Chain A
Amino acid sequence: MTTNKSTIEEMNGDNAAAAPSERAAAVPMIEIKGLAKQFGSFHALKGIDLTIAKGTVFGFVGPNGAGKSTTMSILATLMAPTSGYAKVDGIDVTKQPHEVRKRIGYMPDFFGVYDQFKTVEYLHFYGASYGIPKAEREQLIPQLLELVNLSDKKDAYVDTLSRGMKQRLCLARCLVHDPELLILDEPASGLDPRARIEMREILRELKSMGKTIIISSHILPELAEMVDEIGVIEHGQMIAQGNVADIQNRMRVKRFLHIRFLDREDEAEAFLRDRPYVNRLLRDERGIQVHFGGQDEEQSELLHDLIGAGFKLVSYSEAQTNLEDVFLEITKGGDGAQ
């Protein structure tokens, strides 16, 4: 094991003089290059490149069928890629799956539980399956149950748990062998808002423990507050990747302006369309929504011009762009572009 690691580090690190710890830190937790997956003639992944540094919380977003779960299954050693490679902690998932499994905690999008087990037994089973001695498990399992707020359910049969509890139990299961990387495929799907908040709290705690987390979701605001980086995938291709602010900056749309007029809305719409920095217009009963590309200066100028042209404004306000908008913006017309 140690020999494997050192050879990999030697291959990766070009400055052999660096201290071992520094070199270890330089190995990204996830390294994916040209990853492609075909199901028959269908290309589910079309050559994905992705690098995630250690300790990062990475949000993986994309519409249904984009290839998120496929990528995660490959990382979890459950599926072989058609071409390209994926490495976890410098270890190729197809070459040393056994080593990779030690390092990952995988939570699939859909999973079942062994109904006849009690919560504690369930965790004991997986703990034992990862080769953790019994004495150690006895100590660990109450802590894990504490972490996911299931302490009071430790002697309940798993099939009596609610969906959200099962989800938290599955998260605890991912953690029994203290993996460095958590691969969570829509861990919050099907949870009520309260349970989502709890899930987020748990993830925040895991983040503070220094774990690398890759988490997929289609519900972006949920991710926005806790991820360091996001990657947007669509039709099996990464279409944007970087930290949240970066991605927002790179967007053509910087701001959303809500403008309400007292009257002459049609004229106002035509007027706005011809203005610079106005990328897109949406009209609904609440007024006109403008995707605005400019900064404060340009925004103030637009207001000035509107008033100067004699339009009667009821309100002129700026909406925060959130990840949801970014997501919609990036993925809109993706079909046409490719």
Chain B
Amino acid sequence: MREQTAGKSGLSWRAKLINPVLNKEFRLRMRTPRSMWTLFFYLFAIGLMALSAIYLTQVISGSGRAFDPETSKVLFIFLSFAQLGLIAFMGPGLTAGVVSGEREKQTLNLLLTTQQSSTTIILSKLASSLSFMVLIVISTIPVYSMVFLYGGISPRQLLLVFLFYIFMMLVLGSFGIMFSTLFKRTMISVIVTYGITLFMFAGTALLFFVMVGVMQELSPNATNSWIGHILAWNPAAALYSILDPEVSQQVYNYRSMGGSAPKKPLLTLWQEFIVIYSVLSALALWTAIRKLRPRLKR
């Protein structure tokens, strides 16, 4: 027995990487027509947006000439936000049903009586939805290249933006899986996940502007740089800080005009965003793993 495991260590390492649950998730996901339609509509939406944006800038600049780098930068920013919006729509939809869906289809109990650990099941489900989303986002790169070729954006920025997307999908995926585990019904899980997503985008922005207003009333002369940190909870603001690095500085030193020279912030908006949401995602996944199976020990 011991010899066997020693001899198989190489194989079991691979078996760990592609475990049965992951294998199953991949296969089943790729076999559902829904996946194909998701991919199709996603590409259709992003393509449509890109084309109409290009058309609009052409009309506005009123010439048939090639873009200047400034225009293409605006286009890039527009596309990046459009893509973020699409991800925010897709992420919860793809993950908020992965556990509750199996519960509703009555396959979960069978899965839970196998030898697969809760961690394996949850992480495999996350990995499978993430891979699918990454596949979709990567397939939009040609659309980007239309804009990219005209210049105005650094490759580093492009890479950062895509890494940011992957992170965003991880975050939404973890939240989706957590709610999918906590709620018995997929419907509720989907609604709650979209609710949280909406709060991340709109709620935090609203809170920021309300706080700016309130603090202006209360202490017009104080620095109040903490208000800027509210925006570090907002994905759109974080993305913008990648596209326009100066934003972070402006936001954190919001009221520091006059004498004191603006300090360089410790972390940029998107870095802070990543720290905050790494912790939250980890917590969400931990909760999902804990709650997948009922607690048996008393």
The answer to whether A and B belong to the same complex is yes
Residues of B within 8 A of A108 (CB): 106, 109-110
CB distance from A178 to the nearest CB of B (A): 13
Residues of A within 8 A of B105 (CB): 112
**Given the contacts A79-B294, A117-B28, A130 and B115 also touching, CB distance less than 8 Å:** yes
**Given the contacts A101-B114, A125-B23, A129-B115, A111 and B297 also touching, CB distance less than 8 Å:** no
Interface of B is mostly: loop
A93 to B296, Cβ gap below 8 A? yes
CB distance from A167 to the nearest CB of B (A): 13
**Given the contacts A114-B28, A126-B114, A95 and B297 also touching, CB distance less than 8 Å:** yes
A78 interface residue (CB < 8 Å to B): yes
**Given the contacts A114-B107, A128-B20, A78 and B298 also touching, CB distance less than 8 Å:** no
Residues of A within 8 A of B297 (CB): 94-95
Interface residues in B, total, Cβ within 8 A: 27
Residues of B within 8 A of A277 (CB): none
B113 to A112, Cβ gap below 8 A? no
Q: Which residue of B lies closest to A124 (CB)?
A: B20
Instruction: Choose from B106, B107, B112 the contact partner of A78 (Cβ within 8 Å).
Output: B112
CB distance from B14 to the nearest CB of A (A): 12
B32 interface residue (CB < 8 Å to A): yes
Residues of A within 8 A of B113 (CB): 76-78, 101, 104, 106
Residues of B within 8 A of A129 (CB): 20-21, 111, 114-116
A78 to B294, Cβ gap below 8 A? yes
Interface residues in A, total, Cβ within 8 A: 33
A334 interface residue (CB < 8 Å to B): no
B296 to A97, Cβ gap below 8 A? yes
CB distance from A233 to the nearest CB of B (A): 21
Residues of A within 8 A of B109 (CB): 73, 76, 78, 106, 108, 111
B109-144 residues at the A interface, CB under 8 angstroms: 109-117
B107 to A116, Cβ gap below 8 A? no
B291 interface residue (CB < 8 Å to A): no
Total inter-chain residue pairs, C-beta < 8 Å: 78
Q: Which residue of B lies closest to A173 (CB)?
A: B110
How far apart sit A121 and B21, CA to CA, in the bound complex (Å)? 13
**Given the contacts A101-B115, A112-B106, A80 and B20 also touching, CB distance less than 8 Å:** no
**Given the contacts A94-B296, A94-B298, A126 and B27 also touching, CB distance less than 8 Å:** no
Q: Mark B19-34, 1 if CB is under 8 A from A, else 0.
A: 0110110011001100
Residues of A within 8 A of B298 (CB): 80, 94
Q: Which residue of B lies closest to A176 (CB)?
A: B114
Residues of A within 8 A of B116 (CB): 129
B263 interface residue (CB < 8 Å to A): no
**Given the contacts A93-B296, A116-B32, A121-B27, A111 and B106 also touching, CB distance less than 8 Å:** yes
Residues of A within 8 A of B110 (CB): 106, 108, 111, 126, 170, 173
Query: Can you report 28 residue pairs joining A to B where beta carbons are below 8 Å apart?
Result: A76-B109, A76-B113, A77-B112, A77-B113, A78-B109, A78-B293, A78-B294, A80-B295, A94-B296, A94-B298, A95-B296, A101-B113, A108-B106, A108-B110, A111-B107, A111-B109, A111-B110, A112-B102, A112-B105, A112-B106, A114-B24, A116-B27, A116-B28, A126-B114, A128-B20, A129-B20, A129-B115, A130-B115
Q: Which residues from chain B sit less than 8 Å from chain A, CB to CB?
A: 20-21, 23-24, 27-28, 31-32, 102, 105-107, 109-117, 293-298
**Contacts A78-B113, A111-B110, A117-B28 supplied; 20 other A-B pairs, CB < 8 Å:** A73-B109, A78-B293, A80-B295, A80-B296, A101-B114, A106-B110, A108-B106, A111-B107, A112-B102, A112-B107, A113-B107, A116-B27, A116-B28, A121-B27, A125-B23, A125-B24, A126-B110, A128-B23, A129-B20, A130-B114
Would you list the 5 A-B pairs with minimal beta carbon distance, nearest first?
A128-B20, A112-B106, A129-B114, A112-B105, A94-B296
